Copies of this chain bind each other. A is one copy, B any other.
Amino acid sequence: MRYFVTGGAGFIGSNITDRLLDNNEQVIVYDNFSTGIEEFLFKAKKAENFRLVKGDLLDNETLAGAMRGCDIVIHFAANADVRFGTENPQKDLNQNIIATFNVLEAMRKNKIKKIVFSSTGSIYGESINIPTPEDAPFPVQTSIYGASKLGGESLIQAYCEGFGFQCWIFRFVSILGERYTHGHIFDFYKMLLHNPDELRVLGNGHQKKSYLYIQDCINAILFALEKSSEKVNIFNLGTNEYCEVNDSIGWIVENLGLKPEISYSGGDRGWIGDNPFIFLDCSKINKLGWKPELTIKSAVIKTLEYLKENEWVLKRR
């Protein structure tokens, strides 16, 4: 199969690219390198089955041309940071809604009908149903990021009905692991490198979050692609546990052998639209037969080890 991976130089995109190449699949990566990192493709670039196209999803002509001859699109390019939506809403509109629309139209032009999409648990807003299943009551959006991802999801679903597409939509919790480039571990490690005695935390540290290890995430995606063949396939992806930000801080400082003074910005959330409790009900994909292998704690430590061995990543963002 020939896979077209948008955002293939990003955290999740480059990891799935490597896995697909390991499985002897053909992969075309399409990335504008606005947040993608070319070094993440160092292994992929050595593979014969691999091709890299530098291009933007807002450039319809380049996009449609690059996609020619592919069998399936893995659309992982996105403005992926939920925290900065109120600073630049246009970015979420462009990168998460219009870009997704352009991908769908390029697929139509190329008669490609299968699409995998990285959505987010943020689209459940502040659900009162915790853990939150895929068919939770129709949520109210609380972040521009979540709203824009739901816009993308919705268009994909409508193309399935309208144009005979088939989709696999994954609503992720936060993903951790190798090539992780933003989020609390990134921020905390960077702060502690700068000053090992001080750590500033957004919110009160009691925000409850669930995390999933990148290789578990990719296992789940490829598993669902193989086992689930509805017209519209939607899965929550996470672990069946959660932790507080404070738990994660404990694991991080213990691993680093530090005892910083911790100060909190206060309040029950880290930023506008931050959900103080994200915990997804993943029983739908669990029942299909997938389970994560790593605990949240192991995933946090693995992420930290990666950052320690790859401090250059800290300077790139």
A: residues with CB less than 8 A from B are: 85-86, 89-90, 93, 97-98, 101, 104-105, 125, 134-144, 146-148, 150-151, 153-155, 157-159, 161-163, 232, 234, 272-273
Contact = CB atoms under 8 A, between A and B. Distances in A.
Contacts of A147: 151, 154-155, 157-158
A90 B102 CA distance: 9
A137 B132 CA distance: 12
B138 A158 contact: no
Nearest to A153: B141
**Consensus secondary structure, chain A interface:** helix
Contacts of A98: 93, 98
- Give the copy number: 2
Contacts of A161: 141-143, 272-273
Contact of A150 (B90, B101, B151, B272): B151
A137 B137 contact: yes
A162 B85 contact: yes
Contacts of A157: 125, 140-142, 147
B134 A146 contact: no
Given A93-B98, A101-B89, A139 B142 contact: no
Nearest to A137: B135
A126 to B, nearest CB: 9
Contacts of A151: 97, 147, 150-151, 154-155
A171 to B, nearest CB: 10
